[in-house]
Structure 1
């Protein structure tokens, strides 16, 4: 039990916020986060092969994307390009969804004949 690792989720159209957080964590653990951190620009002090690191990062990201949306990334050749494409596709939808949830929450009213536990849930 102690050695169980949390599973990585596949990115689909509905779970970008969770996927993004978990993916960045995994990229850090695998030491592949530099291309994303540095916005695709090789740091001058970087001594490793930048192109190889970038490609490994890109492959790792693509491994955790659902087949239903991978076609959006077919022309992306860099990890940072892939990352920004995904942000453009899904980040705005999440913000709009949050606004919708806040509006929905503000409209909630307790009905006298409704059990209080149901209302709170």
Structure 2
């Protein structure tokens, strides 16, 4: 089976995740990076045959498929790790697959705990536009916090967003 080979011609610059920047936006950038490299499907884990016919059919190309999958998963895992700072990498060093690594990062940095919700709500309500900050940068900060809140299931009303812009 011939597979399309992706070329790494385009250089992407993704800020390394340090646990302090917006994890939701960082994940979007890393998913885009993996997609450009043809590696994004590794985040879903290795496909499992659903029935006996698929298992029998899979046995014919098992070696090629296994080698392909291991290469894809290894490159995706490597790509994610290269987008982490050393202190964050130390927290996920035992994860060997892209899916396992991705899920561990989500559990560490996108938790729906009360303390995380309170922390993000406090960041939202304490957000002020500093002198010298452009309106676009301030709006970007606001939208980033709102995105993080929504990623953990907290709905931010338009009225609350508007109040933060005043």
The TM-score, its normalising length taken from structure 1, stands at: 0.69
3-state secondary structure, aligned to 2:87: coil
RMSD over aligned CA atoms reads 3.1
Which stretches in structure 2 are left out of the alignment for 5+ residues?
Answer: 1-9, 128-163
* Aligned equivalent of 1:54: 73
The answer for the alignment partner of 1:100 in structure 2 is: 122
Q: 1:52 to 1:69 in 2, by over 3 A?
A: same
Instruction: Describe the shift of the 1:69–1:104 C-alpha distance in structure 2 as closer, same or farther (beyond 3 A).
Output: same
Task: Kindly provide the CA deviation profile for residues 39-95 of structure 1, in whole angstroms up to 9, marking residues without a partner as x.
Answer: x13265997511110011000100010012111111101000000000000012796
Counterpart for residue 6 of structure 2:
none
Structure 1: segments with no counterpart, 5+ residues: 106-118
Give the equivalent residue in structure 1 for 2:39.
Answer: 32
Give the one of 23, 27, 40 matched to 1:20: 27
Measure the CA separation in 2 of the matches of 1:76 and 1:93: 22
Tell me the number of residue pairs that the alignment of Structure 1 and Structure 2 aligns.
Answer: 104
- Work out which of the residue numbers 47, 66, 69 in structure 2 matches 1:42: 47
Q: What is residue 89 of structure 2 aligned with on the other side? A: 70
Contact 1:35 1:42 in 2 (8 A): no
Alignment equivalent of 1:8, drawn from 5, 11, 14 = 14
Q: 1 or 2, which has the higher helix percentage?
A: 2
Change (3 A) 1:7 1:99: same
1:6–1:78 Cα change, 3 Å:
closer
Q: Helix, strand or coil: the match of 1:99?
A: helix
CA contact (8 A) 2:42 2:98 kept: yes
TM-score (norm 2): 0.52
Instruction: Give the 4+ runs in structure 1 shifted more than 6 A.
Output: none
